Structure 1
């Protein structure tokens, strides 16, 4: 993968040696296209090595048994055009991803909830396999090449790419076709700084302003310190200006800054977009999602009636996390009455408990930064791309793949799946164009 100074022109140049760029390079080379990769880092796949807690959640098999796998998978994706990912997912879905890595020599294993990882449970295995695949195919990878400018000509060569080296020298490459696989704004320690957005804008494309996704939420609540460290099974709803916009169930984590856990991470993109618009955003937590409001009232009344001689704090034992009980008492303004019996509860206090157990509201004040996020919501407007080929409608010969465009997936391997799917689809489309 050392640079050959005599080979500065390639049929296809791919900017970005991340997941989508690597997939596109291998696919394009297998089609017989002269392909090379440019990347600003000193090694390929730097962000891949950081995913899945160092294990690399390659994809998610939970929708693979659906009759229409692509349609089921589509529900895991979001963006300005809700149906935009479908043609790409139909070309390269979960089964194809598993088969692709098997052919490269990387068997996968399934863990909880359909999460698929390399059998070694090491992200380094994914990078090792791609390095071998690049070597097998003699694909040049020009590292430490930070792309600072791209220009387009009507004559051959069509694209001129100017890079800055680690020694601040400028190096120029040319190509007939160009793939932007530069990622979003997450994983900035891995070099994904959003520079691809600026390159696309210089070429005439529009940016849907990015916000962090799959990220923790900051909330305003007086007793956060007391809640910190508690994990509960429940349901969370995101409300924007009082209207529920999305709901998720699972393990909710309380922290000193606010809320986290899988349901919160899934909801975070909605919260981030509405906050960016200036909307009022609330997280409402349901501590007893298996019961209706009426059933909760009936349950509590029966409990308090049966054990009317017990203290109120004791009446929650067994069905509420023990560390939550003092906070519930504070919410009901009876924390200074430790000996209050169930038989002495007022209707007002009972009403507070009814509400909290089903609709415990937290005002969202923000999200953690892109540094903490696992995905970027927003990106290059997909209305400016051809859905099944990912070619630019504005610049013929320019293709995009991965997180650079306004498509983001749910927590659980779906963003990497989009990288594999879009990298493959773009390369296949180019192959069909070149070889008719």
Structure 2
């Protein structure tokens, strides 16, 4: 697919990055009459799509709402989301006869494989006449009246460049800070990037008990500041993971505690008081294991329950234990980094962009889509939907230039 040649090529639109957002922007503009070329440094198109959702790609969510996206410019996503909805992407799947299913919480996955999504995007590009050049290394970008991009496939000159190279998450598949470097080159501010949707680590000696529970999982309510998520928690050999913690990690800042309710929706004080009456000779570990995983019950009993039969526990002891179970505070020391992060928080400052077109206001012809910008969605298909919505918005705007 990649043709390395000489001479200068002059597409109407040059898209840098052949991921979800870049391909969407490319064929959307091409379907409306623009000559579009897409460059990607990887020899394989759509690698992040292919590994997502356990290989089945959680491509969108039925409950897309602006408040489920994080940005310093919190209203930025509204325009694009209002113009490209989950139903629009589902129509594209129907056109390509791709079967899908809802897993939980509105999360939609391919029945077969994430490869179906990549093949669909490439088919749309091919039908619209988009030129896609994988394995192409960009060596220099300059701008006078138009953009001039020097690459291993030759020189491209275009009035419009779309930055669609993503963020720093999952470097093993080629993620880099390229988009941030280009933004800074043209004077566009960048919000400090950080790993998001990422496991949290506990390196302090006093938190060693967390790491000893590796493999234990249970449903919890995790809270950080004013934000809460009620999903599964997983203890790991370095700390905590699972959907609830991945969600919270996007909001967590260094030094903040995270509060865990280990029995959400239940009244632990009432449960323990009832047990005191009915099964009074039972001791702490056995008592707590009626509702919690055995290893976790044993740890909590050691830390918070007296080593006496439940019948001997005072009401004050029961209240304190219930408090520890419903409001257990843990203090992460960090994250597992970009290697384990599903997305990047931060990025190109959306306050420098048009929310309607994704164009950099101060640099006409420069557009930003997808993960490269300071927009981070919840776990569960939100980030892919932002790729589709922002790519579509840019593609439509490019067609009008």
TM-score bracket, shorter-length normalisation: over 0.9
Are 2:139 and 1:139 aligned? no
Kept in 2, the 8 Å contact 1:331–1:352? The answer is no
Q: Is 1:159 the equivalent of 2:147?
A: yes
CA offset at residue 315 of structure 1? 2.5
1:282 aligns with 2:257: yes
Within the candidate set 80, 90, 96, 1:88 is matched to 80
**SS of corresponding position for 2:385:** helix
Residue in structure 1 matched with residue 11 of structure 2 by the alignment: 10
Which ranges of structure 1 fall in alignment gaps of 5 or more residues? 64-71, 166-170, 239-243
Partner in structure 2 of residue 415 of structure 1:
383
Work out the CA distance in 2 between the residues paired with 1:322 and 1:285: 18
Q: Distance in 1 between matches of 2:74 and 2:14?
A: 29
Greater mean deviation of Cα atoms: 344-353 or 178-187: 344-353
CA offsets, 1:127-156, max 9 Å, x none? Answer: 2223333333332122222223221112xx
Query: Could you tell me how far apart the structure 1 residues matched to 2:86 and 2:95 are?
Result: 14
Q: Is the 1:105–1:129 contact (alpha carbons within 8 Å) kept by the matching residues of 2?
A: no
Indicate if the aligned counterparts of 1:39 and 1:146 stay in contact, CA closer than 8 A.
Answer: yes
Question: Is 2:218 the partner of 1:232?
Answer: yes
Query: Which 4+ runs in 1 deviate beyond 6 A?
Result: none
8 Å CA contact 1:3, 1:140 repeated in 2: no
TM-score normalized by the length of structure 1: 0.86
1:69 corresponds to: none
- Give the aligned partner of residue 306 of structure 1: 278
Q: TM-score, normalised by structure 2?
A: 0.94
Aligned residue for 2:269? 297
> In 2, are the aligned partners of 1:17 and 1:181 still within 8 Å (CA)?
yes
Q: Is the 8 A contact 1:304 1:315 kept in 2?
A: no
Describe the superposition over 1:154-212 as per-residue Cα deviations: whole angstroms up to 9, x where unpaired. Answer: 2xxx11012246xxxxx321111111111011132222211111011101100101011
Using the TM superposition, give the Cα deviation of residue 405 of structure 1 relative to its aligned residue in structure 2, in angstroms: 0.7
Q: Structure 1 residue aligned with 2:357, among 369, 389, 392?
A: 389
Aligned pair count reads 397
Q: Name the CA shift for 1:106/1:306 in 2 (closer, same or farther; >3 Å).
A: closer
Q: Take 2:171 and 2:282, find their aligned partners in 1: how far apart are those partners?
A: 54
Question: In the TM superposition, what are the counterparts of 1:345-384 in structure 2 within 5 Å?
Answer: 345-346=313-314, 349-384=317-352
* Matched-pair contact (CA < 8 Å) for 1:231–1:253: yes
1:315 aligns with 2:259: no
Native 8 Å contact 1:149 1:199 kept in 2: no
Greater alpha carbon shift after TM alignment, 393-402 vs 96-105: 96-105
Structure 1 position 310, deviation (Å): 2.8
Matches within 5 A, 1:46-195: 46-61=47-62, 63=63, 73-120=65-112, 122-154=113-145, 158-164=146-152, 171-195=154-178
Residue 100 of structure 1, CA deviation: 2.2
Give CA-to-partner distance per residue, 1:195-239, whole Å, 9 cap, x none.
Answer: 11101110110010101111111124131243211111121112x
Partner of 1:330: 302
Aligned pair 1:20/2:12, yes or no?
no
Q: Secondary structure at the match of 2:208?
A: coil
Q: What secondary structure does 1:184 align onto?
A: coil
- The structure-2 alpha-carbon separation of the partners of 1:227 and 1:349, relative to structure 1 and needing over 3 Å to count, comes to farther
